Amino acid sequence: MAELEALPGSTRPAEPPPVVELVDVWRSFAGPPPVDALRGVDLRLDRGEYLAIVGPSGSGKSTMLHVLGLLDRPSAGIYRLEGVDVSQMSEAQRSGLRGHRIGFVFQAFHLLPTRSLIDNVLLPLIYQGVPRRGRRDRAVQALERVHLGHRLDANPLTLSGGERQRVAVARALVSEPSLLLADEPTGNLDQRNAAGVLDLFDELHAAGISIAIITHDDAVSRRAQRLVRITDGRVSAG
């Protein structure tokens, strides 16, 4: 069926901007010797997309993670986050965006071993100034989302590695970020627990979460909707 034409005087709703857009991004380090860790990278991640960025050690994956996560800034080029150029923002502005708009999941779980699951998950909301009651409600919802709503008061040390990574995912989601950024999220897990975490990412993608996974593992990258490879700082289609 042909697409309907807009009625005279009507306007179509504007397309939302990409969650992430890198335009000719370089990241260079002075050395010695000087290193171009990212070289003219163009990359786009649309809303609700699930992207894997794959490359061997030394390919530029860690630098890409730091740039995407606003932990580092490009030496040249443009980085737009939800249509806003963040390349030249102040560190305070970048820190604020990072805390509110980007959720991180790392290979190491980085959970506080002496605090309960719910305390671990609501921690980012304390830094954001969310009222106490609102913090708890949102943390409960995040833990329910990763199927751990029945373990709110458990200690992380009593959990399996896969369950701990689920708690880390809940902590990343509690701020309702625009981008879930995962760095080797199954690197510390056995095959069974890794599969469970990847199943969770599939669920989150189906629910509309925008995800970028950085990995060296082809088995992990195959679960993503789209794959790009990074080699010597350059990105190409998978």
1 located within any domain: no
Which tens digit of pLDDT belongs to each residue from 203-227? 999 999 999 999 999 889 999 999 9
58 located within any domain: yes
pTM of the model: 0.89
39: CATH: 3.40.50.300
Q: Which domain holds residue 130?
A: 20-232
Q: Kindly list the averaged pLDDT for each block of 10 residues, start to end, along the chain of length 238.
A: 47 80 96 91 96 93 95 96 92 92 94 95 91 90 96 96 96 95 94 94 96 93 95 89
In the chain, alpha helices (H): 61-68, 91-101, 117-127, 132-145, 161-173, 191-206, 218-221
238 located within any domain: no
Which tens digit of pLDDT belongs to each residue from 130-173? 888 889 999 999 999 999 999 999 999 999 999 999 999 999 99
